[in-house]
Amino acid sequence: MLTFIYLYQIVPSAAFHLFRAIKTWTNLQHLHLTNIAFPPNAHETCFANLTTPSLRTIYIGQSTFLSPQCIAALCIAKHEALEFIHLVDAYQESIWGPRLRRSDVESHILESSGLGDPIEAVELVSVVRKWVLCEARTERTMGGDRADGEVIPAVVN
């Protein structure tokens, strides 16, 4: 049984193929990705159809071009086994752009036009608050999105 997979330095063109392969790993429980640059449409190509039934935790560290839509796609899919999504130094653009924050994912869900039911949107926001932890571990001495010290731990049941 494959329980952990650690991959390092993944370029955008390889991310699509990686996630296509991950979908076939039915016994994967913990996914740990670092130094990954996502393609522009990652929420459609990488995350939207991630149907690994036993996946319990996702760690994405030092990533670029990770949009709120990507994490929202995971939360909207409501994977049965998924318990925790840990994002460390995840940037929405390059490393000089804004970091991805849990509030960005929540805002995307609330503003999404595809969710006609406000009660469903509130339920999905509670899923985001339960599953997602965004952490700023690397501080910049100048420029870029500086860590603001507002890391709010998610509650994992």
Contacts of 105-114 with C-beta under 8 Å, sequence gap 24+, read 105/68, 105/71, 105/72, 105/75, 105/132, 107/68, 108/68, 108/69, 108/72, 109/72, 109/75, 109/76, 112/72
Residue 73 falls inside a structural domain:
yes
Chain mean pLDDT for the chain: 79
What pLDDT is recorded for position 89? 93
21 lies in a domain? yes
Q: How many domains does the chain have?
A: 1
Q: What is the pTM of this model?
A: 0.81
pLDDT digit string, tens, across residues 26-49: 888 888 888 999 888 877 777 766
* Residue 157 domain flag: no
> Which residues form the domain of 41?
4-135
Would you say residue 155 lies in a domain? no
Helix (H), strand (E), coil (C) string for 10-54: ECHHHHHHHHHHHCCCCCCCEEEEEEEECCCCHHHHHHCCCCCCC
- Give a yes or no: residue 146 inside a domain: no
For the stretch 75-110, pLDDT in tens is 887 777 889 999 999 999 988 888 999 999 998 888
Q: What is the pLDDT of residue 7?
A: 60
Q: Is residue 113 part of a domain?
A: yes
- Confirm whether 148 is domain-assigned: no
